[in-house]
Structure 1
Amino acid sequence: MEKLVRTPTSAGPDAFTGEVLVDAIRGPRDGSRVAMAHVHFAPSARTRWHWHPVGQTLYGTDGVGLVVTRGGEVLTLEPGRTVWIPPYEEHWHGALSTSLMAHLAVQEADDDDETVTWLEAVTDEDYARANAMADSA
């Protein structure tokens, strides 16, 4: 069995806004289509809008964050909570403005070995609106 060494890496602006560290646990390989990462968000950091061809499961590990769909649904993600995002559902996720957040992200590759399609950045206005909705819930 191969020894796996994981090194957190800074994530770039093509996928995230703010300070984000991605600890890639595994990518699709050896006949498995599963990809998994432990993603750490500083306060106010977030993904860009994106979707996954086979869906995505998020499992909160630290802090409090948001999962927001294009349709306007706002969910909080806390340690121990699991959120399932269906295939092709445009969404974003990230930390509240007042808290760090970390989650495990699990997704599968499609027949073309793609796990995610990145879209435009979340605007500051959309981010503030989601934070306000989470505060009022």
Structure 2
Amino acid sequence: MELQPKQPSTKGPADMFTGDVWFDVVANGQEPSRLRVNLVRFAPGARTAWHSHAVGQTLHVTEGRGLVQARGGEVVELRPGDTVHTPPGEWHWHGAAPANFMSHLAMWEGVGESGGPESSWGELVTDEEYGSR
């Protein structure tokens, strides 16, 4: 067993997030584990850029109200207890609703020995895309 003391929260970088976003690493598995878990907190209107994950991603909303969209799909509202899975390679974004904070657990896997990036990041989500619901 290994205790992993709480590390300081990290502010989401401006090239990957719009608005105030903070995250805490919950799990960063070491081989053979590839588990990755972050607790992510979004201020109202804050959101990720478009991105995808090599092995997919699961989001579990813990509080507040949020939004998620797959490229080409509808914007979907998220509430506490909702869980969303994006399959490998699916471009998507997620964040808080305009008038609410939102927190979620973001869970994904590393790519292991196959190499390559775990996540690919694209352009910031525009205000028009964010408000398209």
In 2: Cα distance, 1:101 partner to 1:126 partner: 19
What residue is the counterpart of 1:112 in the other structure? 115
Determine the structure 2 residue equivalent to 1:36: 37
> Distance in 2 between the 1:49 and 1:18 partners?
14
Cα distance in 1 for residues equivalent to 2:28 and 2:4: 12
Deviation at 1:78, TM superposition (A): 1.2
Structure 2: gaps of 5 or more residues = none
Give the direction of change, closer, same or farther, for the CA distance of 1:17–1:51 in structure 2 (3 Å limit). Answer: same
Stretches of 4+ aligned residues off by more than 4 angstroms: none
Once the two structures are TM-superposed, the CA of residue 30 in structure 1 deviates from its matched residue by 3.4
Match of 2:26, SS state, is strand
What residue in structure 2 maps to residue 121 of structure 1? 124
**Aligned position for 1:56:** 57
Aligned residue identity for 1:119: G
AA in 1 matched with 2:71:
R
Quick one: which amino acid aligns to residue 117 of structure 1? S
What is residue 5 of structure 2 aligned with on the other side? Answer: 5
Partners of 1:123 and 1:46 in 2: how far apart? Answer: 10
Name the counterpart of 2:92.
91
**How many pairs does the alignment contain?**
130
- TM-score normalized by structure 1? 0.89
Partner of 2:16: 15
SS in 2 for 1:25: strand
CA offsets per residue over residues 18-38 of structure 1, 9 Å max, x none? Answer: 000101112231311111000
| Aligned-partner Cα distance in 2 for 1:71–1:21 | 27
Relative to total residues, which structure has the larger helix share, 1 or 2?
1
Whole-angstrom distance in 1 between the partners of 2:63 and 2:2: 29
CA distance in 2 between counterparts of 1:71 and 1:89 reads 10
User: Structure 2: which amino acid aligns with 1:3?
Assistant: L
1:73 Cα offset (Å): 2.3
- Normalising by structure 2, we get a TM-score of 0.92
Question: Which 10-residue stretch deviates more, 72-81 or 10-19?
Answer: 72-81
Give the letter for the 1:125 counterpart. Answer: E
Q: CA deviation at 1:113?
A: 5.9
